[in-house]
């Protein structure tokens, strides 16, 4: 089996690099923007045709939510236009595309976990471009799985967990938003899930029935302030967390107040077990601690 991974220097891409060591029977090609600019149709076609993958994991994305408000052209190019390019090439060469999307596409508050079939009301440039990318795949002729996830952090890259570890040790108190509800998701768990899904697809006699949108996040529900408190509790960091509202925080881009995802479909379709967010957080913090 051959798997091409885009965005391999990002959080999920980096976790896939690490996991690849445990899959000697899979031939991986890890690419970044320098080796595969997914918004470049000619370059994308050449790299994909030369490697001839069975599966393409698109872990590349424009994820700077606030910056996207002023940099919409780049966000559109990476989150939407590039998906159209990749899906067309994948369709031509019978390559199954695994695409990572976002809870931001929903932006509704039904007071229950969000279903894949719920309406989407994306707000802000980042959210709208991610939804546009999803729509491209939904209307394409390629075989695909769209994985919508939330609140991603990792051992790699810059993320909320690492920021809290740094600021918690530098300051006596922090003020953090407490009215956005969701589930933190460990990029390592996303990477493992993608590879498990690919294995199931590869073994299936009815692959076409697995095409579609799937929600995935870690289990449990929290808000950002309590997420920070849990990080400080586990690491014995003495930092007071004060709560604020989304409106008072005043970020440039709108944030969904409700990001709790229903994961029953991915469990029933692929047998994916959902790890609790606190357990996954401990795993990530242990890895970070081992570097010291």
Q: Is 126 a catalytic residue?
A: yes
pTM of the model: 0.97
- For residue range 184-206, list pLDDT tens digits in order: 999 999 999 999 999 999 999 99
What are the residue ranges spanned by the domains of the chain?
2-158+184-219+261-275
- For residue range 104-151, list pLDDT tens digits in order: 999 999 999 999 999 999 999 999 999 999 999 999 999 999 999 999
Task: Give one DSSP letter per residue of 189-256, joined into a string.
Answer: HHHHHHHHHHHHHHH-S-GGGG-EEEE---BS-EEHHHHHHHHHHHHT---EEEEE-HHHHT-SS---
Nearest alpha carbon to residue 98 among 54, 145, 135: 145
| Given the residues 104, 126, 156, 186, the one annotated as active site | 126
- For residue range 221-273, list pLDDT tens digits in order: 999 999 999 999 999 999 999 999 999 999 999 999 999 999 999 999 999 99
How far apart are the two ends of the chain, measured CA to CA in Å? 37
CATH superfamily label, 2-158+184-219+261-275: NAD(P)-binding Rossmann-like Domain (3.40.50.720)
Mean per-residue pLDDT, 54-81: 97
């Amino acid at each position: 089996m051959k798997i091409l991974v885009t965005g391999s220097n990002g959080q999920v891409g980096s976790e896939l690099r690490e996991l690849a060591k445990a899959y000697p029977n899979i031939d991986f090609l890890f690419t970044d923007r320098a080796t595969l600019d997914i918004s470049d149709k000619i370059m994308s076609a050449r790299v994909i045709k030369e490697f001839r993958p069975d599966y393409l994991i698109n872990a590349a994305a424009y994820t700077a939510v606030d910056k996207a408000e002023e940099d919409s052209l780049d966000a559109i190019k990476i989150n939407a236009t590039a998906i159209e390019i990749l899906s067309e090439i994948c369709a031509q060469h019978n390559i199954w595309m695994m695409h990572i999307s976002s809870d931001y596409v929903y932006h509704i508050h039904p007071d229950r976990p969000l279903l894949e079939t719920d309406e989407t009301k994306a707000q802000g440039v980042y959210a709208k471009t991610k939804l546009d990318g999803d729509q491209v795949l939904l209307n394409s002729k390629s075989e695909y799985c769209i994985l919508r996830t939330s609140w991603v952090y990792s051992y790699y890259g810059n993320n909320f967990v690492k920021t809290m570890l740094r600021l918690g040790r530098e300051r006596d108190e922090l003020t953090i938003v407490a009215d956005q509800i969701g589930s933190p998701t460990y990029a390592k768990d996303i990477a493992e899930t993608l590879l498990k899904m690919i294995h199931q697809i590869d073994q299936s006699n009815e692959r076409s029935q697995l095409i579609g949108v799937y929600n995935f996040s870690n289990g449990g529900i929290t808000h950002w302030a309590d997420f920070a408190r849990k990080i400080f509790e586990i690491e014995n960091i003495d930092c007071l967390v004060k709560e604020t509202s989304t409106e008072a925080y005043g970020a440039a881009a709108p944030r969904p107040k409700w990001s709790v995802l229903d994961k029953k479909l991915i469990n029933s379709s692929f047998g994916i077990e959902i790890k609790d967010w606190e357990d996954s957080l401990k795993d990530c913090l242990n890895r970070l601690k081992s570097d010291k």
